[in-house]
């Protein structure tokens, strides 16, 4: 989505107007808005999700609990979940991809604030009808034999992809593993890459 | 409603463009809209009303607007609908700020509002409900075209699928968006063959799962 | 293509507004666009390409544009596609006219163009074809979602209807819009129960007739 | 459709730019464009259609031919038809309404240039899903017992409605009858009204 230069100044003014009205009516305080914004700025983004994925790769029992009931498994990570979570697992034969066609539902409590492309019209319209072409836009070319499973999150459940663990990472700690796991991989538009030296070592 | 927001399967929106090192917000006003949403939804209006307010945008405006512009539009729409602020107040304040960006504004809390006592309301408690369908059941979605809010996308209406997961009870968005009560129903993840939805345009062998409320579904005939 | 131009059944566009004593054109440029269309379609591009060019507009631009703006967009699109004019020429000329509305322009015919010899081409002759279906036959439309031009609206895909009229052979818009030849087929007026298309939202007892090419149709099973 | 004040000046310039390029390349002449425009200005609008309807009301044989093959019957009126015409008849039990949802196909050779509302998004989107509500926008309230038949003109055929003949017009000439028949009635969004004095005479 490009920003419309004709609308942008108006929108900024309108935002300020609305906020000032809510403030003078005593319905919100400027401090509360500022505090909320600084919380976003300290947002850890997709790190929580990455830690969960790394744990699942290392701990088969945790992985089973995670796939069984995502929200319950999250409790082990002390994540304040506000919605049920369904974790779907990628395998050599199946690739999962998550979208919300009707708005932009997103598992923010594990992945942070959503990227703009996730909320844009191109992704929302195309992920369901031509997921393979969308993955190509991300530079991911799947083998024809791989089945693509799309998840359109239209209700309260949020979806996160458990990506495939790359080869050659047995020597890494769980934290080092987590550092490899990208937000895009947990939405299902990328694979997790092993660090360059590990790949070379294979 | 059959609105432009119901984008699944539409063509013409170009490639997906990924922004490297994207900032959390592209402008200060976006952050403030995001924070105001957190401070108003679940207090003056519910999340389904929030979503429906976006759908009420003029379709051309919707397509011209960035994500947080659409949020601003629905926060305004809902606050005006509920009577928390008026459009006239907003127009006047916007115009004042346009002419005098540093205008003196009334002090915090200096204007009375009956809404000060509004407290956050949680989603209502959900009763135990007996699911009509079980995993593996063949279902067909209703071919419905309500003028109001719904979460059954157009591309999945009148289509055959299979119950994949039984999620449990949830507030019914279609009524909750219109002040008609939470009316909880069981929600299911229904799996569709991509071919059932898209014909020859489908990704071969692919599937789509969509979360659907029980009243969207009927047992598949035959 | 599944584009915003495919408007049947969409909500959100408000009431129909009828203008009393409407002028033929609302501005001089509209009349000139109308006349230029007559002078270019069927000569530099065909009518299906003309329609497809409108569908190629950015969806937000489509919804912001008035009827003759969309015509201008497709005349430009097609003339550029065919190489009759270039976008750079058009941009430069537009900018010149913006800066100097009374600029001296090159005299008529002073610039060479290989397109001068282009003559109007009629729709091609249509062969006799044997209809696959007869009036009264039950059919089902294909659930197709082509990326290119098609005249089977989204709201009528995968639906059961009855052959109402056998119109006879016509050029196939879906190929003719893409330089893939006229490929004539029999066109039928297919009648659908409104309920088949719109479920409970249908006007009770109502019907819709849509003109559909033979390859959009299959015999209805059962 | 409201005109977008931000786009309008650009569009006027762009039109002029395109026309000037086609002219200097010798592909069109300004005289031809002007001549074409003056033809529109002399457009007789829906009069041809009205004459055809009036004739059909008075001449049952012609009506039969018209309903059988509209384009062929038009030849009797010396109308240079460029497309097949299907004429659909309103009765006390059935009301027909014509739309083109995909673009704005219109039987211009009998009805003249289409009105803006016919080309607007509201009519194109709503006529097929809620025709009764659309008719109400035109002030036409049909009895619940009347079946509405919608015609979406998606191919080369063009559609025209043969409205019901009002009561109390037996004394009128065919030309006087034609003067009563509106464009809207031949699209199917209005009924033909008898002149006020005729109604009073009933």
Structure tokens at A47: 């790190």
Say if CB C20 and CB D134 are below 8 A apart.
no
List CB contacts (< 8 A) between B93 and chain A: 17-18, 20-21
Spell out the per-residue pLDDT of chain D, length 202, in tens: 556 777 888 999 999 999 999 999 999 999 999 999 998 888 778 999 999 999 999 999 999 999 999 988 988 887 776 689 999 999 999 999 999 999 999 999 899 999 999 999 999 999 999 999 999 999 999 999 999 999 999 999 999 999 999 999 999 999 999 999 999 999 999 999 998 764 444 4
Nearest CA in chain A to B97: A13
| Residue C75 to residue C53: CA distance in whole angstroms | 8
Q: How far is it, in rounded angstroms, from Cα B197 to Cα B141? A: 12
- Cα–Cα distance measured from residue D104 to residue D111, given in angstroms and rounded to the nearest whole number: 13
For residue A80, what pLDDT is reported?
A: 72
Contact between D150 and D88 (Cβ < 8 Å):
no
First-to-last alpha carbon distance for chain C, in angstroms, is 30
Q: What is the pLDDT of residue D2?
A: 58
B90/A14 CB distance under 8 A: yes
Q: What is the structure's pLDDT at D3?
A: 67
**pLDDT in the model for residue D125:** 98
- Report, as ranges of residue numbers, the positions in chain C whose pLDDT lies below 50: none
CB-facing half-sphere around the CA of B177: CA atoms within 13 A: 20
How does strand D85-89 pair with strand D158-162?
A: parallel
DSSP reduced 3-state for B117: helix
Mutation target for C interface from D2, D36, D72, D101: give the one with most C CBs within 10 A.
Answer: D101
Which of A4, A14, A26 lies closest to B113 in CB terms?
A26
- Answer yes or no: do A129 and C145 touch at CB < 8 A: yes
User: pLDDT digits over A66-92, tens only?
Assistant: 999 998 898 888 777 668 999 999 999
For residue D104, indicate whether it is catalytic: yes
Pairwise CA distance, residues A170 & A167, whole Å: 8
**Region B88-105: what's the mean pLDDT?**
95
Task: With beta carbons less than 8 A apart as the criterion, state whether B152 and B141 touch.
Answer: yes
Q: CA–CA distance from D42 to each of B171, D39, D53, D118, D176 (Å)?
A: 61, 5, 22, 21, 21
Which C-chain residues 21-40 have CB contacts (< 8 A) with chain D? 22, 24-29, 31-36, 38-40
Q: What is the pLDDT of residue A196?
A: 77
* Structure-block tokens of residue B22: 């994207």
Q: Is the dihedral of CA D112, D113, D114, D115 positive or negative?
A: negative
> CB neighbours of A40 closer than 8 A, spacing ≥ 6?
A113, B24, B25, B31, B34, B35
Are residues D129 and B59, on separate chains, in Cβ contact within 8 Å? no
Region B5-26: mean pLDDT is: 96
User: Chain D: residue nearest C195 by CA?
Assistant: D129
Partner residues linked to D148 by β-bridges: D95
Task: Report the distance separating Cα D47 and Cα D51, nearest Å.
Answer: 6
Question: Which chain D positions have a beta carbon within 8 Å of C105's beta carbon?
Answer: 20, 23-24
Q: What is residue A202's predicted lDDT score, i.e. its pLDDT?
A: 41
C148 CB contacts (<8 Å, ≥6 apart)? C1, C52, C174, C177, C178
pLDDT at A201 (0 to 100): 43
Q: Do β-strands C207-213 and D147-152 pair in parallel, antiparallel, or remain unpaired?
A: parallel
D165 is catalytic: no
Q: What are phi and psi of D60, to 5 degrees?
A: -60, -35
Q: In 3-state terms, what secondary structure has residue B50?
A: helix
> Which stretches of chain A drop beneath a pLDDT of 70?
1-3, 81-82, 197-202
Contacting subunits of A (3+ beta carbon pairs below 8 A): B, C
B138 closest CA partner among B112, B159, B169: B159
- What are the contacts of D6-12 at 24+ separation with CB within 8 A? D6/A6, D7/C64, D7/C65, D7/C69, D8/C27, D10/C94, D11/C29, D11/C69, D11/C72, D12/C27, D12/C28, D12/C29
- For the annotated catalytic residues of A, the residue numbers are 100, 103-105
- Determine whether the interchain pair B59/D121 forms a contact, defined as Cβ–Cβ distance below 8 Å: yes
Q: Which residue is closest to D121 within chain B, CA to CA?
A: B59
C-D Cβ pairs (cutoff 8 Å, strict)? 254
C193 has a chain D CB within 8 A of its CB: no
- What is the gyration radius of the CA atoms in chain A, in angstroms? 19
Q: B88 in contact with A at a CB cutoff of 8 Å?
A: no
CA distance B153 to A101: 8
The catalytically annotated residue of D20, D82, D103, D154 is: D103
Which residues, other chains included, contact C155 with Cβ-Cβ below 8 Å and sequence gap of 6+?
Answer: C6, C8, C9, C197, C198, D101, D128, D129
| Cross-chain residue pair A13–B35, CB shorter than 8 Å | no
Task: Return the bridge partners of C166, or none.
Answer: C188
Q: What angle do CA B55, B56, B61 make, to 5 degrees?
A: 85
**Which tokens in the block code for residue D170?**
């037996």
Statement: residue B196 has pLDDT above 90: yes
Which residues on chain C place their C-beta less than 8 Å from a C-beta of chain B?
1-4, 9-13, 55-56, 58-60, 63-64, 142-147, 154, 157-158, 197-201
Whole-angstrom distance, CA of residue D143 vs CA of residue D93: 9
Determine contact: B145 vs chain D, CB below 8 A: yes
> How far apart (Å, rounded) are the C-alpha atoms in residues B53 and B72?
10
Query: What token pair was written down for C98?
Result: 């913006």
Closest CA to D18 of D28, D32, D31, D8: D28
- Chain A residues with CB-CB distance to C59 below 8 A: 121
The conformational region for residue A194 under phi > 0 = left, psi -120 to 50 = alpha, else beta, is: beta
Closest-CA residue of D relative to C53 is D103
Contact residues on chain D for C69, CB-CB shorter than 8 A: 7, 11
Contact call for C59 and A129, based on CB within 8 A: no
The answer, for C59 touching chain A at a CB cutoff of 8 Å, is: yes
Question: Contacts for D56-64 with beta carbons within 8 Å, 24 or more apart?
Answer: D56/D87, D56/D162, D57/D165, D57/D177, D58/D174, D58/D177, D63/D162
Rounded distance between C-alpha atoms, residue B29 and residue B65, angstroms? 14
Contact D128, D153 (CB under 8 A): no
pTM listed for this prediction: 0.95
- In chain C, which residue's Cα lies nearest the Cα of A126? C2
Which residues sit opposite C138 in a β-bridge?
C162
Could you give the percent of chain B with pLDDT greater than 90? 96
Residue with tokens 């129903």: B185
- CB-count exposure of residue C100 (10 Å: 0-12, 13-18, 19+): exposed
The DSSP result for chain D, as a single string, is ----TTTHHHHHHHHHHHHHHHHHTTSS-HHHHHHHHHHHHT--TTHHHHHHHHHHHH-HHHHHHHHH-HHHHHHTTT----S-EEEEE--SSEEEEEE-SSS----HHHH-SPPHHHHSHHHHHHTTT-HHHHHHHTT----TTSEEEEEE--SS-EEEEEPPPPSS-TTS-HHHHHHH--HHHHHTSS-PPPPHHHHHH-
* Alpha-carbon gap, residue C209 to C212, rounded angstroms: 9
Residues of A in contact with B115 (CB under 8 A): 25, 27
- Could you tell me the CA-to-CA distances from C201 to B150, B212, C133, D129, D132 in Å, in that order? 14, 20, 30, 7, 12
Contact call for A121 and C145, based on CB within 8 A? no
> Burial code of C188-222, b = ≥16 C-beta within 10 A, e = fewer?
bbbbbbbbbbbeebbbeebbbbbbbbbbbbeeeee
To test the contact with chain C by mutation, choose from B1, B3, B8, B11 the residue with the greatest count of C C-beta atoms within 10 A, namely B11
Helix (H) or strand (E) holding B51: helix B47-55
- Predicted pLDDT at A111: 95
């Amino acid at each position: 989505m490009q920003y419309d230069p004709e609308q942008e100044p108006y929108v900024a003014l309108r935002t300020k107007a609305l906020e000032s009205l809510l403030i003078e009516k005593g319905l919100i305080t400027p401090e509360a808005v500022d505090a909320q914004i600084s919380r976003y700025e300290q947002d850890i983004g997709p790190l929580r999700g990455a830690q969960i994925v790394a744990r699942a790769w290392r701990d088969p029992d945790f992985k089973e609990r995670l796939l069984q009931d995502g929200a319950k498994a999250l409790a082990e990570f002390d994540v304040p979940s506000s919605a049920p979570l369904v974790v779907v697992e990628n395998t050599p034969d199946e690739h999962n991809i998550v979208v919300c066609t009707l708005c932009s539902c997103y598992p923010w409590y594990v992945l942070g604030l959503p990227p703009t492309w996730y909320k844009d019209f191109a992704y929302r319209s195309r992920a369901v009808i031509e997921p393979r072409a969308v993955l190509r836009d991300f530079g991911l070319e799947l083998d024809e034999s791989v089945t693509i499973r799309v998840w359109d999150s239209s209700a309260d459940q949020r979806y996160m992809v458990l990506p495939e663990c790359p080869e050659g990472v047995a020597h890494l700690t769980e934290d080092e593993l987590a550092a490899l796991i990208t937000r895009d991989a947990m939405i299902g538009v990328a694979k997790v890459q092993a660090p360059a030296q590990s790949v070379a070592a294979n | 409603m059959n609105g432009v927001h119901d984008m699944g399967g539409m063509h013409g929106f170009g490639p997906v463009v990924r922004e490297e090192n994207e900032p959390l917000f592209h402008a200060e006003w976006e952050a403030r809209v995001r924070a105001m949403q957190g401070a108003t939804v679940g207090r003056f209006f519910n999340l389904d009303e929030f979503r429906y307010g976006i759908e009420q945008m003029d379709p051309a405006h919707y397509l011209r607007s960035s994500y947080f512009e659409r949020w601003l539009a629905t926060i305004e729409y809902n606050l005006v609908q509920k009577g928390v602020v008026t459009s006239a107040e907003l127009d006047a304040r916007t115009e004042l700020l346009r002419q005098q960006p540093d205008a003196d504004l009334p002090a915090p809390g200096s204007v009375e509002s009956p809404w000060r006592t509004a407290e956050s309301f949680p989603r209502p408690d959900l009763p135990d409900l007996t699911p009509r369908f079980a995993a593996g059941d063949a279902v067909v979605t209703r071919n419905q075209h309500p003028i109001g809010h719904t979460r059954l996308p157009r591309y999945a209406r009148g289509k055959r699928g299979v119950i994949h997961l039984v999620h449990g009870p949830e507030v019914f968005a279609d009524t909750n968006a219109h002040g008609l009560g939470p009316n909880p129903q069981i929600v299911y993840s229904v799996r569709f063959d991509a071919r059932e939805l898209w014909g020859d345009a489908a990704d071969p062998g692919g599937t789509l799962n969509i979360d659907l409320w029980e009243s969207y579904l009927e047992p598949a005939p035959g």
